[in-house]
Structure 1
């Protein structure tokens, strides 16, 4: 309603935009609405977007279902509520279809966050993986370059004296004949 007060004081839309930190286009649209319908025309019509397809009572039930955990609803592999699982649960319990992104927004609205399950092979042997990392990988990986072996500056290359006699870039400092 600040915009209406400013328009009543005959302040121009560009100045209203600057004061309220909105785009000039919005201020001009507000000004047109205000001229045509007064203060009531500028009243908020609520949040944009589609209405929630679940009643407040259903939202309470959904929150209770989510508190029970995934295992209580047939997902016994892990205790993770993914957005896809929540969308499926909503369909099963309330016969309402939600997309994965819609289920994510609904979860956030209820104070939950969707989790991403860790994808692990069921037969994974953690001891074998740890042993491989410590022994085999240490033997296989190449050592890094020693510090100071190359120039890290884009502006200044290493001096010709510091270059090896043979190998990549050898002789690059010498004039071509």
Structure 2
């Protein structure tokens, strides 16, 4: 009996990727270093290849380094975070929960969007009255929906708001004309000046 027969799926990227339940492209990116597998996929690789994680990550080549240093090197996570997680199970549970991609995105989006909404609320909008404030808030929510988080900044928000305000619905006269929003009645005299 051939002792390597159980590793027959290692003959190609296609067969190994299939065994790991990932696309061949994904596995190829891991091999060439373009991306790295998630920790659960690293565990799957270890199970499929019947090896421990130290061996998989090349720990034999890193003699003299602590497991925390090796983990930090390969994961790019701060060694302080790793050491804290090793010593504090509550912290580790928190990290494991919020570092999962589904939970991480939700947390980051929620935190970032809440911070931007608070910033908008504190940034002179307290002096803007209806119906202009509703229009600006709607435009802001559109900005949040269509702008990647990495591109959020005051300049892009201002540009977006200016481009999204329908010019035919805004009036700067002192009297209300038709159905347009009269800016003079929505802003304090100081802001108008």
Does the pair score TM above 0.5? no
Q: TM-score, normalised by structure 2?
A: 0.25
Identify the structure with the greater helix proportion: 2
Structure index of larger Rg: 1
